[in-house]
Amino acid sequence: MFSLSFLNSGLLIASLSALIPLLIYFFAKKRPDRVIFSSIRFITLSKDEKKSKINLKNILLLIIRTLIFLLLALIFARPIIETFLGIGSNYHAPTTISIIADNSWSMDYYSKDTQRLELLKQKLKTINGKLTDEDFIRIYTKDNYITSQKFMQGAIADTLIQNIPLSYQDLPLDSLIVQALHDKKDIETANFELYLITDMNEQLTYQDSLTKIKLIEVDNHKEWNNLSATITSVQIGSTKNVKQLSIDFVIHNYGEKEVTDRLVRLNYNDRSYDRFVTIEANKSWQGNYTLPIEKSGWQKGFIEIQDEFYLKDNRAYFSSFFNLAPQITIITEEPSISLPLKTMVNIFAGDDNNVKYIPQNYVNNQLLATSDIVIFYKLNSLESNVKTLTEQLRKSNKGSLFILGNKYDKSVENYLNKKFSLELGNGVVNQIFPDWHNPYNKLINSLSVKQFPEMRFNGVAKASFKNNSRILLASNRQPLIAQADNDFLFLFDDNNDFVTNSSYPVFMNKIFEQLSISELEVSTNYVGNQIPLSKNAEVNDQKQIGNSFVFSDVGIYKVLSESGKLSYESVNLGESLLKESRVNNDEVNNSFEVITDNWEGHLFAESGRFELLKYLLIGIMVLFVAELVIVKFG
Q: How far apart are CA 566 and CA 264, in angstroms?
A: 30
339 and 311 within one domain:
no
Distance separating alpha carbons of residues 478 and 285, to the nearest angstrom: 45
**Does 337 share its domain with 425?**
yes
Give residue 312's pLDDT. 82
What's 310's DSSP letter?
A: B
**Nearest alpha carbon to residue 137 among 145, 148, 126, 122:** 148
Please determine, for residue 177, whether its predicted confidence score (pLDDT) is greater than 80.
yes
Q: Is the pLDDT higher at 293 or at 576?
A: 293
Q: Which residues pair with 2 in a beta bridge?
A: 83
| One-character DSSP codes across 123-137 | HHHHHHHT--TT-EE
Q: Are 243 and 263 in contact (CB under 8 A)?
A: no
User: How many domains does one find in the chain?
Assistant: 4
- Residue 75's pLDDT band, with cuts at 50, 70 and 90, is confident
Residue 607 DSSP code: -
- What percent of the chain is predicted at pLDDT more than 70? 83
277 pLDDT more than 90: yes
Query: pLDDT (tens digit, 9 = 90+) per residue, 122-132?
Result: 999 999 999 99
pLDDT at 191 over 90: no
With a pLDDT cut of 90, the percent of the chain lying above it is 31
**Do residues 111 and 190 both lie within one domain?**
yes
Determine the average pLDDT of the residues in 485-506: 85
| Cα–Cα distance for residue pair 561/332, rounded to 1 Å | 33
| b/e code 394-433 from CB counts within 10 Å (16+ = b) | eeeebbbbbbbbeebeebbbebbeebbbbebeeebbeebe
Tell me which of 279-288, 294-303, 507-516 is least confident: 507-516
Alpha carbon distance 57, 55 (integer Å): 5
Residues 60 and 138 in one domain: no
Rounded Cα–Cα distance for residues 531 and 533 (Å): 7
Query: For the segment 139-169, what is each residue's pLDDT rounded down to a tens digit?
Result: 999 988 888 889 999 999 999 999 999 888 7
- The number of beta carbons lying within 10 Å of the beta carbon of residue 209 is 7
pLDDT band at 270 (very low <50, low <70, confident <90, very high): confident
pLDDT on residue 528: 84
CB atoms within 10 A of CB 114: 13
Strand order across the 471-475 sheet: 355-358, 328-332, 373-377, 400-403, 487-490, 478-484, 471-475, 436-437
- Considering 515, 542, 561, which residue would you say is the last residue of a domain? 515
Label residue 342 exposed, middle or buried (CB < 10 Å: 0-12, 13-18, 19+): middle
Check: CB of residue 149 under 8 Å from CB of residue 155: no
Highest mean pLDDT among 58-62, 89-93, 377-381: 377-381
Angle at 307 between CA 304 and CA 309, to 5 degrees: 135
Whole-Å CA distances, 92 to 98, 197, 562: 16, 21, 59
Residues 376 and 477 in one domain: yes
Decide if 119 contacts 156 (C-beta within 8 A): no
Q: What DSSP designation does 476 have?
A: T
**In the predicted model, is pLDDT for residue 518 greater than 70?**
no
Residue of 222, 102, 221, 216 lying closest to 597 (CA atoms): 216
Q: What is the pLDDT of residue 183?
A: 93
**Are 414 and 507 contained in the same domain?**
yes
Is 90 within the bounds of a domain?
no
Most confident of 187-201, 261-275, 382-396: 261-275
Same domain, 105 and 247: no
256 pLDDT above the threshold of 90: no
Phi, psi of 377 (to 5 degrees): -110, 110
Read off the DSSP letter of residue 445.
H
**What are 601-618's pLDDT values in tens digits?**
778 866 655 556 677 788
DSSP letter string, 165-214: PPB-----HHHHHHHHHHGGGG--SSEEEEEEEE-S-S------SS-PEE
Q: CA 532 to CA 14: how far, in whole Å?
A: 60
Reply yes or no on whether the pLDDT at 574 is more than 80.
Answer: no
Categorize the per-residue pLDDT at 521 as very low, low, confident or very high, splitting at 50, 70 and 90: very low
**292 is a domain residue:** yes
**Residue 53 belongs to a domain:** yes
Evaluate whether 373 touches 344 at the Cβ level (below 8 Å): no
Per-residue pLDDT, 241: 66
CATH code of the domain covering residue 169: 3.40.50.410
Whether residue 498 is contained in a domain is answered as: yes
Rg (CA), the chain: 41
Question: How confident is residue 280, by pLDDT bands cut at 50, 70 and 90?
Answer: very high
Please indicate, yes or no, if residue 523 is contained in any of the structural domains.
Answer: no
Residues 329-381: pLDDT tens digits?
A: 999 999 989 898 999 898 888 778 899 999 998 898 788 778 889 999 999 99
Band of residue 82 on the pLDDT scale cut at 50, 70, 90: low
Residue type, 391: E
Instruction: Give the whole-angstrom CA distance, residue 577 versus residue 567.
Output: 26
pLDDT at 38 over 90: no
- Residue 307 reports pLDDT greater than 80: no
Instruction: Give the per-residue SS3 of 498-532.
Output: HHHCCHHHHHHHHHHHHHCCCCCCCCCCECCCEEE
Q: For 332, phi and psi rounded to 5 degrees?
A: -160, 155
Which residue type, as a one-letter code, is found at position 132? T
- The CA-to-CA distance between both ends of the chain, in Å, stands at 42
* 540 has pLDDT over 90: yes
Angle at 78 between CA 9 and CA 137, to 5 degrees: 115
Contacts of 69 (CB under 8 A, 6+ apart): 15, 17, 18, 20, 21
Give phi and psi for 305, each to the nearest 5: -115, 135
Pair (180, 205) in one structural domain: yes
Please give the model's pTM, rounded to 2 decimal places: 0.61
In-domain check, residue 595: yes
| Helix 41-77 / helix 613-633 crossing angle, nearest 10 deg | 170
Cα angle for residues 385, 387, 389 (degrees, 5° grid): 70
* Residue 437's CATH number: 3.40.50.880
Model confidence at 544, pLDDT cuts 50, 70, 90, reads: confident
- In a domain, residue 548? The reply is no
Cα angle for residues 551, 554, 555 (degrees, 5° grid): 100
Regarding whether 252 and 138 lie in a shared domain, the answer is: no
Residue closest to 560 by CA, chosen among 541, 582, 581 = 541
CB 591 within 8 Å of CB 206: yes
Neighbours of 369 (CB within 10 A): 11
Residue 308's CATH number? 2.60.40.10
175 CB neighbour count, 10 Å cutoff: 13
pLDDT at 197 over 90: yes
d(Cα 105, Cα 169) in Å, to the nearest integer?
Answer: 9
Tell me the pLDDT of the chain averaged across its residues: 83
In a domain, 343, yes or no: yes
Residues sharing a CB contact under 8 Å with residue 78, sequence separation 6 or more, in sequence order: 6, 7, 8, 190, 611, 613
Residue 91 has pLDDT above 80, yes or no: no
Looking at the structure, do residues 128 and 178 belong to the same domain, yes or no?
yes
Domain that includes residue 116, residue range? 95-223+580-607
**Residues 276-305: what's their mean pLDDT?**
91
- On the question of pLDDT at 546 being above 60, the answer is yes
- pLDDT at residue 28 in the model: 60
Are residues 426 and 507 both part of a single domain?
yes
Judge contact between 374 and 389, C-beta under 8 A: yes
Q: How far apart are CA 562 and CA 86, in angstroms?
A: 65
Q: What pLDDT is stored for residue 229 in this prediction?
A: 92
If asked whether residues 623 and 603 sit together in one domain, one would say no
Query: Residue 260 — φ and ψ, nearest 5°?
Result: -125, 145
With 70 as the cut, is the pLDDT of residue 438 above it?
yes
CA distances from 184 to 93, 129, 138, 149, 508 (A): 17, 22, 11, 13, 69
Burial class (CB in 10 A: 0-12, 13-18, 19+), 583: middle
Strands 555-560 and 548-550, by their bridges, are unpaired
The better pLDDT of the pair 383, 453 is held by 383
